[in-house]
């Protein structure tokens, strides 16, 4: 959707409330002629004929660089809000499976492991899950997003896409391991800091 907003010279404020725009937004300022005029400047080469210096109403005179930002609240949602740890009788002990057909990303684990992970999430050692569980889950999710457009209407996909956009990650082409680490704010670094705290 293209929106043209007329503004006088000076500071510019544009009201984008009410969900007017969403997702990646690109803004460029342009100067458009309001009336017929003839350009006259010492910086214009004298070889230009007079007709080349004539500007008609509606002609584009100048434009700025394109600015980009992510609109919407999806980018502010914590990644943990789209993950749901779920016990599943048919998953082998010690491993996990991922289910992406719902509105959240379901991480399926065996009952015993589910109990352990649920307990761990409430402890000081919970940062171990960033690299041992959530890093491979995010990598698998990015791989699924790259391969399938069928998930684009899912809530988890909207939030993941918005977070990627806010972090300047092109999930279609970026290195998946690097992208996942960026989304999780360097999980191995968090793990290192946690053990450094515990050892002092």
pLDDT digits (tens, 9 = 90+) for 157-190: 988 988 888 888 999 999 999 999 999 888 888 7
Could you tell me whether strands 83-87 and 105-109 are parallel, antiparallel, or unpaired per DSSP bridges? parallel
pLDDT band at 52 (very low <50, low <70, confident <90, very high): confident
Question: Domain limits of the chain?
Answer: 75-199
**Residues 133 and 96: beta-carbon distance below 8 Å:** yes
Contacts 24+ apart (CB under 8 A), 174-180: 176/139, 176/142, 176/143, 176/146, 177/139, 179/142, 180/135, 180/138, 180/139, 180/142
DSSP state of 65: P
Of 16 and 33, more confident: 33
Give 12-21's long-range contacts (Cβ < 8 A, gap of 24+).
Answer: 16/71, 19/72, 21/71
Q: pLDDT value at position 62?
A: 82
Could you give the 3-state DSSP secondary structure of residue 1?
coil
Counting residues of the chain whose pLDDT is more than 90, the rounded percentage is 25
120 or 92, higher pLDDT: 92
Q: Is the pLDDT of residue 122 over 70?
A: no
By residue count, the chain amounts to 200
């Amino acid at each position: 959707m293209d929106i043209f907003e007329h503004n006088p010279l000076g500071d510019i404020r544009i009201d984008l409330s009410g969900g007017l725009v969403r997702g990646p937004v690109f803004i460029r300022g342009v100067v458009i002629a309001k009336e017929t005029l003839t350009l006259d400047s010492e910086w214009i080469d004298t070889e230009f004929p007079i007709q080349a210096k004539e500007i008609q109403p509606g002609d584009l005179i100048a434009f700025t660089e394109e600015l980009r930002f992510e609109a919407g609240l999806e980018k502010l949602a914590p990644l943990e809000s789209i993950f749901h740890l779920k016990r599943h009788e048919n998953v082998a002990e010690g491993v996990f499976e991922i289910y992406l057909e719902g509105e959240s990303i379901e991480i399926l684990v065996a009952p015993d492991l589910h109990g352990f992970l649920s307990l761990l999430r409430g402890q000081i050692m919970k940062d171990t899950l960033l690299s041992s569980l959530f890093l491979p889950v995010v990598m698998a999710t990015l791989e699924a997003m790259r391969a399938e457009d069928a998930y684009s209407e899912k809530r988890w996909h909207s939030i993941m896409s918005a977070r990627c956009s806010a972090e300047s990650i092109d999930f279609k082409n970026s290195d998946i391991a690097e992208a996942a680490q960026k989304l999780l704010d360097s999980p191995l670094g968090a793990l290192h800091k946690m053990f450094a705290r515990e050892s002092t």
